[in-house]
Chains A and B, each alone.
Chain A
Amino acid sequence: MPEILASVLDGLLIGLVYGLAAIGLTLIFGVMDVVNLAHGAVIALGMFTVYLLYKAGIHPYIGLLPVAVIGFLFGVLIYLIAVKRILDGPPLMTLLATFAVSMIITGAGTAIWSTSPYNINFPVTTLNILGYTVTSARLIAAIAAVLVTVFLYIFLYRTTLGKAVRAVANNREAAELMGIPSQQILAVSFGIGTALAMLSGALIATLFPFTILSGGIYELKSFVASVLGGLGNPTGALFGGIILGLIEGSVAPFIEVSWTNVIEFVIFVLILLFFPTGLFGGRR
């Protein structure tokens, strides 16, 4: 029994990080109806950014701050160059544009770093919580994911800019009529979404080795978590991530780990069968 609890605890902690990645994806979709296919590539970029900062002597946890700033600026850049002009075109256009961004990042990354695995080797301590062994890195990654989510909520619900983001997400035309500069808000939203993706990548990089292609699997998990939680709903995405992590953790003791993905997606399909708009409903 304690072994199962250990697996569940591991799943919960990693699920929070999945959740953070999913919030980045769902925020962009919620605000501007863009399915960001560059999400995985951006996650991988977050991994490499924190790695390079670490190589430059910055502790990975302190490195999270510059990663967030770089992520935000990079997101704004992607928006201005690749998304802005085609935002009102057919949905396929933004899909292809973000896919192109993904290919550019992955291609450049492969050329620079090859596809070999990289590792952030910083000392990790082990904690004993009620008899379960948890590494400090996992615990800190989960706490960081929660903190970032809390800040995001304070931003969205307590600041004027955050309220403007929500207004644009609700009804862009009405928001514009109220004098909200929607173009700036959209750029900010894309920036935040990208920053969240890069942050989650940076946190994952403190736990596991990674390659420039590692983003793919987390992009998939983000999609699943977002859909589980209801597309466009950031809280839902966080819980979607937690559910995903819990499924991974709790099925592992009973089946061969190679089957985890199968079970995960079967449960995903089942949930959608009964909750077509996700467990927590669509946007807000």
Chain B
Amino acid sequence: MKRIWLLAMLFAAFAWAESGTITIGFTVSKTGKYNVESVNQLHGIELWQKWINDQGGIPVGGKKYKVALKYYDDESKSDRVQQLYSRLISQDKVDFLISPYSSGLTAKAAIISEQYGKVMVATGAASDSIFKLGYQNVYQIYTPASRYLTGTIDMIRAADANLKKLAIVYEDSKFAKAVATAAKGYAKEKGFEVVLFEGYPSGTTDFGPIINKIKASGAEALVGGGHYADGATFARQLYEQQAPLKLVALLVAPASDEFAELGDAAVGVVAPSQWEPLVKYKPTCGPTPAEFTEMYQKAYGKVPAYRAAGGFAAGLVLQRAMMDAGSIDPAKVRKALDAMDITIFFGRIKFSADPATHGLQLGHEMVQIQWQKKDGKLTKQIVWPLDAKTADLIYPAR
């Protein structure tokens, strides 16, 4: 009898050693202006957690670690982000971090992660500038802002060799401004004349004055936008006020499925997207795009937006780094991330290991989507790059 007890105890101790829990901390904008995007991202992260825990956890050096998530609502406010990331690290003792949604909030979180030397995978943040500060612990999943609209501009040039006048109108946020500035330089290189280059305040609801300016500038196409709320409003008012543009490409908003609620105002609008369910990447790790989409649909009843995919990808990249490192030691995980060059369902992932741009995403590329009406139904089609397209670009769009 005693022996059985001893055996049971030994077995229990063995099982204990064989499993552990890794806690990953982050904040979510459950309220405030990033609400839609951020909750999407959360769904992606939660789906990854479920996916990996259903397989028994992350296999690291012979052990399996279950994943636990710890998160708070940051109200889309940067001062909350700073408080909460400090709290996640010092009080909640999380092992690794994922960023909040948006470049502005991530920049704040990055300061904290760097102070405490915690590895943070940044998703939903495309700003380049965060990765030019010499941070050693922050890794970017998204294609950075500097390459965000370059594909869009290539596409416009391919569709219309004669188009000259381009307006660039962007939200005065860290992210949109960085994208717009990079796009301006690239557009000039490609022979466009940028007739209007202007920001609008975050939270703008009346785009009347700006639309009047666009009309006055004689612009033939518009690229710009910012986040969801402003982008959707901008698109709606451009349509209502009949701005004579051959093509409108806006950041973020049109890539969301909610954009379809705009009805006719959505038709023809183009957006660069980090990811689309129809992409044909062949992953070397994790689920295929189709498998991810199916899982997500089963869990949330709708097609995943790229932010949800980005959330899942952030988890997957962390997981892969731990597996590669064979350890959950932060220094070893960092080393694995520096060396990483993989293709997952989200696309290629490779980080800059150069100290000057450490953590910047080098591998991932954007796709361009356009809202098109087919049989009276609005659908999102991939129109660029050509080898990935699901439909031809409709041009002029209106």
Other-chain residue from A7, A115, A133, A209 in contact with B209 (beta carbon distance below 8 A)? A7
A121 interface hit (Cβ, 8 Å): yes
B284: chain A residues within 8 A (beta carbon)? none
Q: Are A115 and B233 in contact (CB under 8 A)?
A: no
Give complex CA distance A210, B261 in Å. Answer: 16
Interface of chain A: mostly helix, strand, loop or mixed = mixed
Q: Are B229 and A257 in contact (CB under 8 A)?
A: no
Q: Are B208 and A214 in contact (CB under 8 A)?
A: no
A219 interface hit (Cβ, 8 Å): no
A160: chain B residues within 8 A (beta carbon)? none
Taking Cβ atoms with an 8 Å cutoff, the residues of B that contact A are: 30-33, 35-36, 75, 172, 198-201, 204-206, 208-210, 212-213, 215-216, 229, 232-233, 240-242, 261-263
A253: chain B residues within 8 A (beta carbon)? 209, 212-213, 216
Looking at B200, B209, B215, B233, which has the most chain A CB atoms within 10 Å of its CB?
A: B209
Q: Are A116 and B35 in contact (CB under 8 A)?
A: yes
Other-chain residue from B36, B213, B242, B262 in contact with A116 (beta carbon distance below 8 A)? B36
Q: Are B242 and A208 in contact (CB under 8 A)?
A: no
B201: chain A residues within 8 A (beta carbon)? 257-258, 261
Give complex CA distance A73, B215 in Å. Answer: 45
Give complex CA distance A260, B208 in Å. Answer: 13
Q: Are A124 and B240 in contact (CB under 8 A)?
A: yes
Give complex CA distance A284, B2 in Å. Answer: 99
Give complex CA distance A6, B35 in Å. Answer: 34
CB B262 to nearest CB in A, in angstroms, measures 8
Q: Are B172 and A258 in contact (CB under 8 A)?
A: yes
Looking at B32, B35, B208, B240, which has the most chain A CB atoms within 10 Å of its CB?
A: B208
Other-chain residue from A114, A135, A258 in contact with B35 (beta carbon distance below 8 A)? A114
Pick 18 A–B contacts, CB within 8 A, sort by A.
A3-B212, A3-B215, A6-B212, A10-B209, A10-B212, A114-B30, A121-B261, A121-B262, A121-B263, A133-B241, A135-B240, A135-B241, A209-B229, A248-B209, A252-B210, A253-B209, A256-B198, A257-B198
Q: Are A7 and B198 in contact (CB under 8 A)?
A: no
Q: Which residues of chain A in 83-118 are interfacial with respect to chain B, using CB atoms and an 8 Å cutoff?
A: 110, 114-117
Residue of A nearest to B75 (CB): A115
